[in-house]
Structure 1
Amino acid sequence: MGRRKLGFWRRLSVWLVVPTLWILTRRTWRGIENVPAGGGVIITPNHMSQFDPLPVAYYVYRAGRWPRFLAKASIWKIPVIGFLLTRTWQIPVVRGSVEAARSLDTLVDAIHQGAAVIIYPEGTTTRDPDLWPMTGKTGAARLALVTGAPVIPMATWGTQGIHDVRTNKVSLRPRRPISVAAGKPVDLSRWLGHAPSRTVLAQMTEAIQLAGRDLLADLRDEPAPAAFYSLPTRRADGASGTTSETEQPA
């Protein structure tokens, strides 16, 4: 995508994000060649800090693509932020509603138009005490099954030094080291052409999350845990339980 075709609002967002990253971070990129130069693609980063979208967006931009994030629709209600999100082609989703199906249609259209769509498979920042990825939701897998678009796993490490979800503390100390890595497309060939059953989507989601987890282990230079952390949930009787991969909503 030519930089001259960005238009005013997308250029403005670049002018806002890039200097912020130059001041606050010292960046290491790995695997940027794994982001396809063109065509629809699904990118699935881990999520451990509210600061994550900035280095991820810049990484994808440096790869020559315009990043289009799938994000909670409630963010669009924030003054100014919501306006900029719309003007920069980001995609809102309302979970657990008819609108969620419409969001999927929007994503499918975006992929068919050649967009680089970024989906956080966990749907929120991780609650794993050691900041490893959690059990994923099935939205990225469902989109891949419908469109056949490649899924590029991505891992980020270091953003917790700017915002740590465990303490909710924010530090604006300059030049914190941050690493972002993209892997080769996840091999989902065995499921393509299958109906989107809960089992198929759960298996695809696990494959996507395993690829991202392994990338993160390389960035952290330490072994990953054998199992994904799962958020506790409440059953109908009010008792606490554990959300399994196949029980989570898409």
Structure 2
Amino acid sequence: MTRVRRQPLRQAVPWSYHAVIAALRPVLMGVTRRDWSGAEHLPRGEGFIVAGNHYSEVDPIMLAHFLVDHGHAPFFLAKSSLFEVPLLGAALRHLEQVPVYRSSSRAGDALEAARAALADGRCIAIMPEGTLTRDPDLWPMKAKSGVGRLALTSRAPVVPIAQWGAQGVLGHYARRPGNLLKRPVQHVRAGAPVELSDLYDRAQEPRAHAEATRRVMAAITQQLAQIRGEQPPAEPFDPARRPTEPEG
């Protein structure tokens, strides 16, 4: 298993962020084992985007654990509805997480806030699928194009990170944790930043956003295939596509 001596954070964060780390990190160290790789791909001295797969309600915490221990405090793009939950919303705001307003006149606010954070040298973390994958085998599904749009308009590096094992802590759509006495292994693998420079001149084009997002998701899936030692589907699951009706 991977042994990492926690590195100091490279960016200033609110006191509440340090409090959350102090509360959660010992728990995670006690109930999980870690198989981490690819930290050398995390940029230093500039803001960057982390894009990860999403298959358990707790996998953002596992991703954050990896990043924090390597000196990067992630600031997540999170659904605006979470900010409306009493106490949780106040905590997210104090932690300076970024709300995403979908299908509304405020949809661009998150990207403006994220670009400002990137310009300030922060790490912005995104789960591009927007919700838990619907793929029956938990492979990444077709994602929303927000990560592509942010990447092209900010020109910040996008590091694809795949993780596997969080379902041992909390299963897909489960409400009760698994058997933590087994200390499930949390696999996290970061890849090299995705090559998107040929799309920068088309930063305002929706088709370019879609292509950038496709490349990011393909890179995440490639990293996950390495972790799982399995072949992913030829095409990602598309939740908008209706199942084909059987003939006859």
Task: Indicate the residue corresponding to 1:171 in structure 2.
Answer: 178
Task: Indicate the residue corresponding to 2:3 in structure 1.
Answer: none
Deviations 1:23-68 (A, max 9, x none): 2211111101111122110100000000101111111112211110
Paired residue type of 2:198: R
Q: TM-score, normalising length from structure 2?
A: 0.89
Match of 1:28 among 29, 35, 40: 35
Deviation of the 1:9 alpha carbon: 0.9
Match of 2:114 among 100, 104, 107: 107
Distance 1:55 1:223 in 2: 24
Task: Indicate the residue corresponding to 2:157 in structure 1.
Answer: 150
Aligned partners of 1:21 and 1:54 also within 8 Å: no
Aligned partners of 1:59 and 1:180 also within 8 Å: yes
Distance 2:58 2:46 in 1: 27
Unaligned runs of 5+ residues in structure 1 are 234-239, 243-250
Distance 2:179 2:153 in 1: 41
Distance 1:73 1:20 in 2: 28
Deviation of the 1:169 alpha carbon: 5.0
Distance 1:111 1:74 in 2: 23
Distance 2:212 2:143 in 1: 10
Task: Indicate the residue corresponding to 1:228 in structure 2.
Answer: 236
* Structure 2 residue 181 is matched with structure 1 residue 200: no
* Structure 2 residue 188 is matched with structure 1 residue 180: yes
Match of 1:81 among 62, 85, 88: 88
Paired residue type of 2:115: V
Give the 3-state SS of the residue equivalent to 2:197 in structure 1.
coil
Distance 1:7 1:140 in 2: 25
Distance 1:166 1:224 in 2: 21
Deviation of the 1:87 alpha carbon: 1.6
Question: Number of residue pairs matched?
Answer: 236
Unaligned runs of 5+ residues in structure 2 are 1-6
Give the 3-state SS of the residue equivalent to 1:154 in structure 2.
strand
- Cα distance, 1:80–1:167 mapped onto 2, change above 3 Å: closer
- Cα distance, 1:24–1:109 mapped onto 2, change above 3 Å: same
Task: Indicate the residue corresponding to 1:51 in structure 2.
Answer: 58
Q: CA RMSD in A?
A: 1.9
Greater shift, 96-105 or 81-90, is seen at: 81-90
Deviation of the 1:193 alpha carbon: 1.4
* Structure 2 residue 183 is matched with structure 1 residue 161: no
Task: Indicate the residue corresponding to 1:216 in structure 2.
Answer: 224
* Structure 2 residue 23 is matched with structure 1 residue 16: yes
Aligned partners of 1:136 and 1:205 also within 8 Å: yes
* Percent pairwise identity: 36
Aligned partners of 1:72 and 1:92 also within 8 Å: yes
Aligned partners of 1:24 and 1:176 also within 8 Å: yes
Paired residue type of 1:59: F
Deviation of the 1:78 alpha carbon: 2.3
Deviations 1:151-187 (A, max 9, x none): 0000010011222225555315231111011100001
Give the 3-state SS of the residue equivalent to 1:153 in structure 2.
strand
Runs of 4+ in 1 over 3 A off after TM superposition: 1-7, 166-169
Distance 1:182 1:231 in 2: 26
* Structure 2 residue 175 is matched with structure 1 residue 189: no
Give the 3-state SS of the residue equivalent to 1:165 in structure 2.
coil
Distance 2:14 2:208 in 1: 40
